[in-house]
Structure 1
Amino acid sequence: MDSEIKEEIPVHEEFILCCGVETQVLKCGPWTDLINNQSGTRPKLLIFIIPGNPGFSPLYVPFAKALYSTTKRRFPVWIISHAGHALAPRGKKVLKSSEDPNAEEIKDIYGLHGQVEHKLAFLRTQVPKEMKLVVIGHSIGSYFSLEILKHAPELPVIHAILLFPTIERISESPKGKFATPLLCWLRYALYVPCYLLLKPWPEKIKSLMTRMVLQMMDIPREFLCLNMLEPFCLVNAAYLGSQEMREVVKRDNETIKEHLPKLIFYYGTTDNWCPKEYYDDMKKDFPEGDIRLCEKKIPHAFIFDFFQEMADMVADWLKDDLSKM
């Protein structure tokens, strides 16, 4: 994709108070308020991206832009942050979300199950009920996508695309074996130095450090990830990670079987969070499912380096359904 075209694509940043928690939403395309937009130009479908952990939404902007462009700019592409993984900058207006009348108070909202309820509350209050949904989950976002299908069958999800899906046996994976003791047992020891070292830094210093990190990783800097250096967000990311290691163990075969026609799984040959043997097991258990394997050596955080290639692939998977919209 031509870089000038990518720059022309509008991306709107909002902070919404969802379930009492500041939530960053990056909206690709001209549509911002879908609920109150009753015009005939309102799109019929929303592409909804759920990040991995840590859920720093700005890192997914290049992928969202590429996907929006590849689908001919017909459908908005939104990226949501996880609860507690984003804080609004000083002076930034935080919008209040309408309450879901059927919602109950979310306990442990920064934990695994609380994050699922957080996404459900957002979809129920911010997206028109009749609007079709394509949910794209990356890493643990794939687990959340399955949970959305399980707990909210009334949502009009036509497809759920699970990219590098960490939906089972995370702690047994090569990366999980290393991360489990760090996140489950040693994370408390990291909290104090994290706060002592990062909390006193002025925002200008955090901004400079973030720019340097993103530049080294060759990641576009349209929206700064200041939350990468915010202790509150890092602690919540570690807490969520600890629950992932403990609770994402057994694959939810019942939900997969029930929604299999809607699901597309995409595994990597060199992914140390969900290794190829997990792909082999999925193919064996669901031979009729749309379960794919990337033969290239794409890292688990593929979104940073292969966003255009992935956007083209996802658009191709969806082309038949999108052509009917």
Structure 2
Amino acid sequence: MGKMGNPGVTKFYTEFLRKLHEQLGYTVWILSHAGHELPLTNSIRQAPPLRDNEKIYNLEGQVNHKRAFIENYVPKNARIHFIGHSIGAYIILQLLKDKSIKERSQGIYLLFPTIEYMAQSRNGWFFTHIVQYFIWLIVFLCWIYTLLPSLLQIFLIKLYMIFFSVSNSHTDTIQNFIRPDTMEKVFFLAVDEMHLVKERDSVVLYENRDKIKLYYGAADRWVPLEYCRRLKRDIPDIHAEICTHNFEHAFVLRHPQEVAVLVANWIMQ
């Protein structure tokens, strides 16, 4: 079962999931973050607005969202392998505080885990000191973007993808993601993360150390290598390693299949 980073859009993980299923043959579930993947505008189902529904979309609400899915949709006899990316790693650690979920967990794989002091990382500093003050402008520009002709939208996305070497398979996903009602929820969660993800939950990590594997990026601007070193110093027998393949934090944009093979090998060990 996969828990993703922020933004939490399942289609960014399609290639990763496809390869993972191909390697293992297991049933694979992935959960978006509440409010990050919205129904089409003409759908009879609509997500509640952010205003007056903050408890649904904040970090605690996202944990509850995942817990509800497990309780209502995952078979009670299923042995679950949890895969968490970025803030998804933090969410999994919170879920493991639930005894029934902990007992059903078979393995826990935390990729580029943002589980401590996010605001003190390089990207966290940039977000809290600069980006946070321009969220209103970014949301406004997203609204302007939605008014553009579809061909112009795609052209702008293509320029972005060429500049950042992003796979063409993400074109439609990015186009559908750039919506002001989605963006305000994404940034709302990000602000909450900066406030809440501080001291590492060493108790949960220690209690589950026989099942957990953490995978840190060698140059991750969200997770300094010092965090990995401190973790291994505090819990020497925990399985934590540093990536030697130059995979970036947002691995799904360029290396989804390679990381899927890596995770599949861990699960099969």
TM range (shorter): 0.7 to 0.9
2:35 aligned residue = 84
> Hey, which of these two has a bigger chunk of strand by percent?
1
Corresponding residue to 2:82 among 90, 111, 135: 135
Aligned-residue sequence identity (percent) comes to: 32
SS in structure 2 of the partner of residue 83 of structure 1? coil
Corresponding residue to 1:295 among 241, 244, 268: 244
* Residue 69, structure 1, aligned to residue 22, structure 2: yes
SS in structure 2 of the partner of residue 260 of structure 1? coil
* Residue 177, structure 1, aligned to residue 125, structure 2: yes
The amino acid across from 2:20 in the alignment is: L
Residues 171, 246 of structure 1: 8 Å contact kept: yes
1:144 aligned residue = 91
Deviation at 1:208, TM superposition (A): 6.4
2:99 aligned residue = 153
1:121 aligned residue = 68
Superposition CA RMSD, Å: 2.4
Deviations 1:271-324 (A, max 9, x none): 11101111111111111111111123221111222222211211111114xxxx
2:59 aligned residue = 112
Deviation at 1:193, TM superposition (A): 4.2
SS in structure 2 of the partner of residue 310 of structure 1? helix
Q: How many Å separate the matches in 1 of 2:161 and 2:38? A: 19
Paired residues in the alignment total 259
Residues 206, 229 of structure 1: 8 Å contact kept: no
> Hey, which of these two has a bigger chunk of helix by percent?
2
Deviation at 1:187, TM superposition (A): 2.4
Residues 214, 220 of structure 1: 8 Å contact kept: no
Q: How many Å separate the matches in 2 of 1:235 and 1:201? A: 19
1:246 aligned residue = 195
Structure 1 residues 78 and 205, CA, compared in 2 at 3 Å: closer, same or farther? farther
Deviation at 1:174, TM superposition (A): 1.1
Deviations 1:71-116 (A, max 9, x none): 1xx2122221101101112455759xxxxxxxxxx96111111100
Q: How many Å separate the matches in 1 of 2:70 and 2:225? A: 32
Structure 1 residues 191 and 279, CA, compared in 2 at 3 Å: closer, same or farther? same
SS in structure 2 of the partner of residue 308 of structure 1? helix
Residues 142, 178 of structure 2: 8 Å contact kept: no
Q: How many Å separate the matches in 1 of 2:243 and 2:132? A: 31
Deviation at 1:247, TM superposition (A): 0.9
Residues 63, 303 of structure 1: 8 Å contact kept: yes
TM-score (norm 1): 0.73
Deviation at 1:130, TM superposition (A): 1.2
Q: How many Å separate the matches in 1 of 2:95 and 2:225? A: 25
Structure 1 residues 212 and 77, CA, compared in 2 at 3 Å: closer, same or farther? farther
The amino acid across from 2:177 in the alignment is: M
Q: How many Å separate the matches in 1 of 2:174 and 2:132? A: 25
Q: How many Å separate the matches in 1 of 2:39 and 2:161? A: 19
